[in-house]
Amino acid sequence: MDIARTPSNPDGNPEMADAATGPKAPVTIRREDYRPFAWLVPEVALDFTLGLDETLVEARLAVSRNPAAQADPVLRLNGDGLSPIEVRVDGEAVNSWVMEGADLLVTLPGNAHNVQITTRLAPSDNTQLMGLYASSGMLCTQCEAEGFRRITFFPDRPDVLSNYRVRMTGDKALFPVLLSNGNCTDTGTHDDGTHWAEWHDPWPKPSYLFALVAGDLVVNKDSFTTMSGRKVDLGIYVRDGDLDRTAHAMESLKQSMLWDERVFGREYDLDTFNIVAVSDFNMGAMENKGLNVFNTKYVLADAETATDGDYDGIEGVIGHEYFHNWSGNRVTCRDWFQLSLKEGFTVLRDQLFSQDMGSEPVKRIEDVRVLRGVQFPEDSGPLAHPIRPDSYREISNFYTATVYNKGAEVIRMMRSMCGEQAFRKGCDLYFDRHDGEAATCEDFIKAMEDGAGLDLAQFRLWYSQAGTPRVSIRMEAEGDEVVLHLSQDIPATPDQPTKQPMPIPLRIALFDRATGAHGGEQLIVLDKAQDSFRFKGVSSEPVLSVNRGFTAPVAIENQTSAEDLVFLAAHDDDPFARYEAMQELVVTHLKDAVGGNLSEQDRQTGREAIGRALAAVLADDRLDDLMRGELLILPSNTYLAEQMLIADPGAIHHERQGLRAWLGEQLEAEFVALHDRASAVPFSLDARARGARKVKTQALVYMASGNPDLAAQMAAGQYDAADNMTDRQGALMVLAGLQSAQRTHKLLDFYNRYHDNELVIDKWFAIQAGSLHPQVLAHVKALADHPQFTLKNPNRVRSLYMAFAANPHGFHAEDGEGYRMIADLILALDPLNPQTAARFVPPLGRWRRIEPGRAALMRGELERIAAADNLSRDTHEQVARSLG
């Protein structure tokens, strides 16, 4: 399941939404309390009589005692908002069942039984978008993590694996398409205008992977021949009118299937693979076996309506959900504490896929930016948790950047330590050992030890310790050697005041200052609190390039001089390290500026050093524009705040904008030339054209700060000349932050041009909410009253309010109005969609790291939310943990 993607605004936070909701309850679930379920459910048959307002569900469960579990005659079936119409055991109606809270309890005397339960659902009333719900006249499901219990009573836990047979009956005019997991085995029609379809999934799966879609849809059909010669029928189902925007998604699917065979040796295992695009969806996509359900955002694309970032997002999410077929479906999680087993591993797989499809260094930089912008703050705040948590109250709150993105980095470290071939051996062993099972993180680690030949005893600490390690480095010369003295420290996090040292792999290179060359890259592993590494045959004063390729998710504290950072920004042959040198040069300067530690002369000296490095990037004809565009992006306000014990968002924003304005003024001629050159490149989806579009808008961003009038003129020209959404949106983003007549004109033109396209109007909302315009708060309030805004669609809510919450200029308004706005949203949204509402709590939860005035206002809003009646379990847990 996908929940996090890089936003088009590099200062923003990726969207994140996933998993299940339920009634508020104080129960804490602990990993140490895991016990196998007392009953096996090898076969499940589901019979749906479909309707938008009313759907009847008849579930027939073949159950038998689990010999691996403690015997219990009571069969506990989870429910959420359900009332049984009828319960039968072995064909006979029974009345001996009882309800315990939301769960149905049936006492069974023997070792094996057939249990039949009938329930009635109201899909149109299901605003939580979990279980079975209605969306734009169609029916669809979302069951991860605990949504299946909103469809029928069932042991809704990932270690109960079943074969599913599904029969759907519905009005043929309303629901001409009937889809479920696996392969379609039969269809038919009735004289009353209804029709039916039967589906069978031969592979055992947990209930969270169940899916059903019924609606009036059109399909893009294709096929793929697997490496063993089997033909797989592919289908992408969308609403009428969207079919011509599915070509990129289909190509991404076929490339994913081919890549997974080539790189991981994983072949698809059904006759059919279908994707359905849904406009009302809490997350990015869901990997249901053979029937992936996607947010329309990650399916629909053409040059007129989708940016280059949208194309990348579709490719990555399509790959992510497809790769889950093995890392999540064929081998699933024993319990939800093991969530990173499937999600961290699959994020790594989709990252590797995307870098092979495009630019490896650019993709790596994008992934690290997401990690630093979302996961690092999570690690240093009240919601910090290990990638395998020890407890939770609401599992939907643990679909986090830590589980996904840091989880991927932890597995990437294993890959760096053992090499690609040995890593593949470990993965093969994992799949072979646990195919058809519900596994644990420990199972993966053990397979990697046995297959790759690693000793990961100490490495297991990465799974149990929260927090971002800080690695301090000091370099000195001793005779004919250079010695690196390294130490690591892992800050205290909630419930973990002290930490043990963890193995930290770091790729390094030592550059000769005179020649600009190095003698080769080396991998060192810091596995102690302190250690030293000696190197011979290098110059007495080398320049250190460390954590090349970002081999470890750590913060490096290295007192590198501005001179050496400029050197690395110009000469480092590792693209990520070159990017990192640029970032560090800016971070060091802005930290000192925000802290009041710079004289005017020092400020000028620092800016000039950054200006020289940036000028070298602009002039370097060895760089492609995709990479040049990354090197031009300043560190985000969020990342800058993470470098400070207590952050002043207003001061950070002021100093960052001041630096950008100075650079825009000093390098105006270079930015104008860059924009002119890039504008001459004709549209295509190849790397050269994509890079040109990237640097074109970055040039406007700098000029908007340095010469707003010129920037407005050039942005308006780019908007008018645009033959693609990337250029048009980039220009509008710049204009939205300026006080210019062109701003109003182009925003109105954009709306009139795309008012009937939901995904593009989402962009229109987000551009304004994320702008640096002085009146952004007033603009967001007005947009909340716009006829096209609704709280019922998660995409629309995120487009306005998540963009605003990621906008340091508006969200951190000194009078607290931005905080009140987000708190008001949470209180209004929580009764409708608790899962989405809870995702807005973390920005307020950062109050401990903010200066006292704003911190008090943020805490006050959290307390106001906490005092609300009938707060959902999702939001309640997030607020309680944020308050501490």
Q: What is the CATH number of the domain that holds 360?
A: 1.10.390.10
The residue among 672, 408, 734 whose CA lies nearest residue 553 is: 408
- In 737-840, which residue ranges form alpha helices assigned H by DSSP? 741-754, 758-769, 776-784, 794-797, 803-805, 808-811, 817-829, 834-838
159: in domain: yes
Q: Per-residue pLDDT for 7 more than 90? A: no
pLDDT level of residue 5 (50, 70, 90 thresholds): low
Q: Are residues 171 and 140 in the same domain?
A: yes
Give the tokens for residue 387: 């990638």
Report d(CA 678, CA 693) in Å as an integer.
7
Report the range of poorest mean pLDDT among 207-216, 308-317, 471-480.
Answer: 471-480
3-class SS of residue 630: helix
CA neighbours within 13 Å on the CB side: how many for 744?
4
Q: Are residues 291 and 361 in the same domain?
A: no
Report d(CA 514, CA 493) in Å as an integer.
44
116: in domain: yes
The residue among 647, 704, 642 whose CA lies nearest residue 675 is: 704
| Residues contacting residue 717 through CB under 8 Å, at least 6 positions apart | none
664: in domain: no
H/E segment holding residue 551 = none
818: in domain: yes
Buried b (16+ CB within 10 A) or exposed e, 696-719: bbbbbbbbbbbbbebbbebbbebb
3-class SS of residue 360: helix
Strands 183-189 and 272-278: unpaired
Q: Which pLDDT score, from 0 to 100, does residue 480 have?
A: 83
Report d(CA 816, CA 777) in Å as an integer.
11
Q: Are residues 369 and 256 in the same domain?
A: no
- Decide which of 552, 582, 608 is a domain's last residue: 552
pLDDT digits (tens, 9 = 90+) for 32-53: 999 999 999 999 999 999 999 9
Q: Are residues 416 and 480 in the same domain?
A: no
Tally of CB atoms within 10 A around 76: 15
pLDDT digits (tens, 9 = 90+) for 135-147: 999 999 999 999 9
Q: Are residues 207 and 99 in the same domain?
A: yes
Mean pLDDT of 709-717: 98
Q: Which pLDDT score, from 0 to 100, does residue 567 have?
A: 94
Domain that holds residue 47: 41-323
Report d(CA 759, CA 306) in Å as an integer.
9
Which residue type, as a one-letter code, is found at position 74?
A: V
Q: Are residues 71 and 57 in the same domain?
A: yes
**DSSP state, 542?**
P
54: in domain: yes
pLDDT level of residue 24 (50, 70, 90 thresholds): very low
522: in domain: yes
Which residue type, as a one-letter code, is found at position 722?
A: A
Q: Which pLDDT score, from 0 to 100, does residue 3 have?
A: 78
Q: Are residues 407 and 474 in the same domain?
A: no
Report d(CA 109, CA 128) in Å as an integer.
37
* CB 1 within 8 Å of CB 399: yes
Q: Are residues 293 and 388 in the same domain?
A: no
Q: Which pLDDT score, from 0 to 100, does residue 139 have?
A: 98
Known catalytic residues are 321
Q: Per-residue pLDDT for 13 more than 60? A: no
- CATH number of the domain to which 782 belongs: 1.25.50.10
pLDDT digits (tens, 9 = 90+) for 631-675: 999 999 999 999 999 999 999 999 999 999 999 999 999 999 999
- Decide which of 287, 303, 323 is a domain's last residue: 323
698: in domain: no
Q: Are residues 306 and 391 in the same domain?
A: no
- In the sheet that holds 504-511, the strands lie side by side as 522-526, 504-511, 543-546
Q: Which pLDDT score, from 0 to 100, does residue 26 have?
A: 60
pLDDT digits (tens, 9 = 90+) for 234-290: 999 999 999 999 999 999 999 999 999 999 999 999 999 999 999 999 999 999 999
Does this model's pTM top 0.85? My answer is yes
849: in domain: yes
The residue among 327, 288, 298, 328 whose CA lies nearest residue 148 is: 288
- Tally of structural domains, the chain: 4
H/E segment holding residue 276 = strand 272-278
Angle at 818 between CA 814 and CA 824, to 5 degrees: 140
Give the tokens for residue 204: 């055992």
Q: Per-residue pLDDT for 834 more than 60? A: yes
Report d(CA 280, CA 795) in Å as an integer.
7
Q: Are residues 423 and 474 in the same domain?
A: no
- CATH number of the domain to which 150 belongs: 2.60.40.1730
The residue among 861, 800, 877 whose CA lies nearest residue 827 is: 861
The residue among 408, 553, 541 whose CA lies nearest residue 470 is: 553
H/E segment holding residue 205 = strand 194-205
- Decide which of 517, 552, 587 is a domain's last residue: 552
Q: Are residues 58 and 114 in the same domain?
A: yes
* CB 461 within 8 Å of CB 498: no
| Residues contacting residue 420 through CB under 8 Å, at least 6 positions apart | none
- In 502-559, which residue ranges form alpha helices assigned H by DSSP? none
Distances in Å between the alpha carbon of 698 and those of 49, 78, 704? Answer: 54, 52, 10
Q: Are residues 452 and 533 in the same domain?
A: no
H/E segment holding residue 587 = helix 575-594
φ, ψ dihedrals at 584, nearest 5°: -65, -35
